[in-house]
Amino acid sequence: MHIDPTPDQLQSFQAQLDDPAPVYMLNLLRFKEHADGPDEGSAGAEAYMRYSALAADHLARVGGELVWAGGCHDALIGPADREWDVVALVRYPSRAKFVEMVSDPDYLAATAHRTAGLAESRLVPCTKAPLG
């Protein structure tokens, strides 16, 4: 299960904090059928929505924005089984602003709902790249 970064992943990300370019975080999310922890009795997606509502203020405070989010369907290319429930793309002004947000004690308290609702996730930092 992958919900939080490992210490090595976090260290690698933080090694590039001086990069002033915006970073786009690709979120791949699979929800638990039934949430646990503080959201026991709710569906996993409901617990994650509680987290999202609380995280929105923190995101805005650091100048970030939800670029796009949507539900996932069966793959056109790849494994036949649907792997993810939701995909979201979130833009942060910089890696430093992302770290500022995720280090905030109030934000960290909100992540209990995230953990309660997620069965599996991926968080992939992306930067703009020319294609073609």
Residue range 52-67, pLDDT digits in tens: 999 999 999 999 999 9
Is residue 120 in some structural domain?
Answer: yes
Is residue 3 in some structural domain?
Answer: no
Q: What is the pLDDT of residues 27-40, one digit of tens each?
A: 999 999 999 999 99
Is residue 4 in some structural domain?
Answer: no
Q: b/e map of 76-93 (b: 16 or more CB within 10 Å)?
A: eeeeeeeebbbebbbbbb
Kindly report the CATH number assigned to the domain that includes residue 92: 3.30.70.100
What contacts 120, CB < 8 A, 6 or more positions away?
1, 2, 3, 29, 30
Residue of 98 and 10 predicted with greater confidence: 98
Is residue 56 in some structural domain?
Answer: yes
Is residue 117 in some structural domain?
Answer: yes
* Range of the structural domain that residue 108 is part of: 22-75+82-126
Joined together, the tokens standing for residue 105 give: 């004690």
State the pLDDT at residue 80.
86
* pTM listed for this prediction: 0.92
Domains in the chain, number: 1
Q: What is the pLDDT of residues 95-114, one digit of tens each?
A: 999 999 999 999 999 999 99
Is residue 46 in some structural domain?
Answer: yes
